[in-house]
Amino acid sequence: MILGILARRVADMAESEINFPEEEYRSIRERLITFFRLHRRTDPETCADEVICRAVRRLREGANIDPSLRAFCLGVARNVLRESFKEKAPEELSAEPSDQREGQFARLSRVEQILLLNECLHSLPPEERRLLLEYHLGDRQLLARRHNQSANALRIRVHRIARKVLKSVQPQPGRGETHPKHPAEESHL
């Protein structure tokens, strides 16, 4: 079934003449994943890809983009969300994770996690490494005062570093893992 969806998507993209810049595509996809995560969909990436696929198809069919492509995608995302609720009710809260998929990092033993994380941390500039650790393990208000920043600004700064670390502890491309591709890339498959 997944192969069927993928084939349909690729065909759609190949026929598409929609202007969908890669940066915008990634930006929208990231928002869509966040949207579905926050609505407790256990497969946010698949849902996001489905939204993009539908959006591109609608655009090809001549749908009106008003006021923007992002708003259009949000509308499609709400439809997909409603449909997914019909197919599968919101996950009942239980003691066990309803999403059994586990990330690569969480699956490692604690010792392996520390070793890998240590390696990733040492690839960061010392100032960033220090800031990340101090934020998570120290007094963040004191830290904000010391850096002469608002709590929000400091949080965003730390978040950028954390994103880098989270990305670096994940498997790298070329090791057999799948990564989302821009529709334009997929069209050349």
Q: Which of residues 27-86 bind another protein (CB under 8 A)?
A: 27-28, 30-31, 34-35, 37-38, 40-42, 44, 68, 70-71, 73-74
Handedness of CA 133, 136, 141, 147 (dihedral sign): positive
> Measuring CA to CA, which residue among 54, 48, 46, 49 is closest to residue 18?
54
Tokens of 100: 């059994």
Q: How far is the CB of 189 from another protein (least distance, A)?
A: 26
8 Å CB contact between 14 and 44: no
22 in Cβ contact with 182 (< 8 Å): yes
CA distances from 158 to 31, 149, 164 (A): 19, 12, 10
Q: Which lies closer to another protein via its Cβ, residue 53 or residue 121? A: 121
For another protein, which residue of 133, 145, 171, 189 counts as binding (CB under 8 A)?
Answer: 133
Pick one of 53, 56, 59, 121: the residue that binds another protein (CB under 8 A). Answer: 121
Tell me the longest C-alpha to C-alpha distance in the chain: 56
The answer to whether 26 contacts another protein (rule: CB under 8 A) is no
3-state secondary structure 39-59: CCCCCHHHHHHHHHHHHHHHH
Closer Cβ to another protein, 8 or 82, answer by number: 82
Q: Which residues bind another protein (CB under 8 A)?
A: 27-28, 30-31, 34-35, 37-38, 40-42, 44, 68, 70-71, 73-74, 91, 93-94, 96-99, 101-106, 110, 113-114, 117-118, 121, 129-130, 132-140, 142-143, 146, 149-150, 152-153, 155-156, 158-159, 162-163, 165-166, 169
